[in-house]
C-alpha cells in the first residue's frame, strides 16, 4: 500500500526532501513507518527514535489531518497521508 509522508523543520532538513511516497505492507502501523524511515534516513534517525528505539514522544505525528496522541499506534491504510513534525518551541 502507498503512504505519503511529509516532513517539516529539522526532520525535513535531515531527510533532504519535503515529502515522499512509500510502499508499506498491508496492516503496517505508524510506529513501523517511523522505524522504517529511521532506517532509510539514518541522518534523521535521532529525530525520529529515542535511544531506546521507540518513537520520540516529543514528535508531532499527524495522520490524515488528525494528530496522533503520544503512545497511540494506529494501523495505516492505503492512501494515508502522514506528517512528521519536530517539537515546536520558542519564546
Distances (CA, A) of 41 to 1, 37, 62, 72: 20, 6, 19, 23
CATH number of the CATH domain containing 51:
3.10.20.30
pTM above 0.75, yes or no: yes
Joined together, the cell numbers standing for residue 28 give 503496517
Question: Is 8 part of any domain?
Answer: yes
CB-neighbour burial class of residue 42 (10 A; exposed 0-12, middle 13-18, buried 19+): exposed
Q: Which domain does 38 fall in, by range?
A: 2-85
Question: Is 90 part of any domain?
Answer: no
The number of folded domains in the chain is 1
Question: Is 48 part of any domain?
Answer: yes
Question: Is 91 part of any domain?
Answer: no
Joined together, the cell numbers standing for residue 27 give 496492516
**pLDDT per residue as tens digits for the range 2-35:** 999 999 999 999 999 999 999 999 889 999 999 9
Amino acid at each position: 500500500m502507498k503512504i505519503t509522508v511529509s516532513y517539516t523543520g529539522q526532520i525535513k532538513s535531515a531527510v533532504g526532501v519535503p515529502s515522499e511516497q512509500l510502499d508499506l505492507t498491508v496492516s503496517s502501523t505508524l510506529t513501523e513507518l517511523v522505524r522504517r524511515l529511521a532506517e532509510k534516513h539514518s541522518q534523521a534517525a535521532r529525530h525520529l527514535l529515542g535511544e531506546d528505539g521507540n518513537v520520540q514522544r516529543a514528535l508531532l505525528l499527524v495522520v490524515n489531518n488528525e494528530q496522533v496522541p503520544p503512545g497511540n499506534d494506529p494501523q495505516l491504510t492505503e492512501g494515508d497521508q502522514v506528517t512528521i513534525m519536530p517539537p515546536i518551541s520558542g519564546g
